[in-house]
Amino acid sequence: MKVAILISGTGTNMEAVIRAWQQGKLPGVEDIPIVLSDTPDAPGLEKARRLGVATAVVARRPKEPRESHEERLLGALAPHGAGLLVLAGFMRVLSPFFLSRFPGRVINIHPSLLPAFPGIDAQKQAYDHGVKITGCTVHFVDETLDGGPILLQRAVERKDEDTAEDLRLRILKEEHELLSEAIAIVSEGRSSIVNRYVKVERSHEN
Ligand code: GRF
């Protein structure tokens, strides 16, 4: 399966996925043909290029309707034949129009244990709320904000001495592993969804 990665920012999750694939840890992934950004100066673009992966930028023009921007995103993806889209810090909610073109084939990484703390700055929301346990989630994307069926989650403990930044970084480290694990599952066809519950078959290697 070919996998396209969509980013808006730093791209550390994207980098972790590309490295895992280049190290042969994602055997279901035949190629990562494109990293697509909606943000022209996303630092992740340079990281992708250094790793030898092609990049494209499709920024939303001032006052451009969402559907028109999404048509251009789809146009940029079309030549690459991706079977899976991975949102790795991609800061847009995709419409049903866009998602109908990739049904069940878009996943997102989110830095909290959903459904707690959807939206932006999830780590800080959890920190400010005073939670003892937070974490990260990879979920299938639907038209709701961070609301699609949950594929994988990993818990991260908040320690007494943590600053918000300490906690963010500890979650990010787990995200990097979790996202590659999720891509392995989807690319090897090891997940199925019944009533929102995503069942995952264990890999033969485990
Ligand atoms: C991550 O925390 C991810 O969960 C969230 O946005 C952040 C992106 O970080 N959706 P990076 O660009 O992968 O470094």
Residue 155's H or E segment, with its range, is strand 150-157
Residue 99 sits in a domain whose CATH number is 3.40.50.170
pLDDT digits (tens, 9 = 90+) for 78-136: 999 999 999 999 999 999 999 999 999 999 999 999 999 999 999 999 999 999 999 99
Average pLDDT over residues 188-197: 96
Check whether 206 has a pLDDT greater than 60. no
User: How far is residue 203 from each of residues 86, 108, 184, 194, measured CA to CA in Å?
Assistant: 20, 21, 9, 20
- Which structural domain, as residue segments, surrounds residue 122? 2-200
Check whether 49 has a pLDDT greater than 90. yes
Ligand 1 atom index nearest CA of 16: 13
Q: 185 is written with which tokens? A: 């599952």
Residue 114 Cα, ligand 1 centroid: separation in angstroms?
A: 15
Q: Kindly state whether residue 206 falls inside one of the protein's structural domains.
A: no
Nearest CA to ligand 1 atom 7: 89
Phi/psi at 98 (nearest 5 deg)? -65, -50
Number of structural domains found in the chain: 1
Nearest CA to ligand 1 atom 10: 89
pLDDT digits (tens, 9 = 90+) for 65-74: 999 999 999 9
Average pLDDT over residues 24-52: 98
C-beta of residue 187 within 8 angstroms of C-beta of residue 29: yes
Q: Kindly state whether residue 26 falls inside one of the protein's structural domains.
A: yes
Mutate which of 5, 12, 13, 150 to test ligand 1's pocket (most atoms within 8 Å of Cβ)? 13
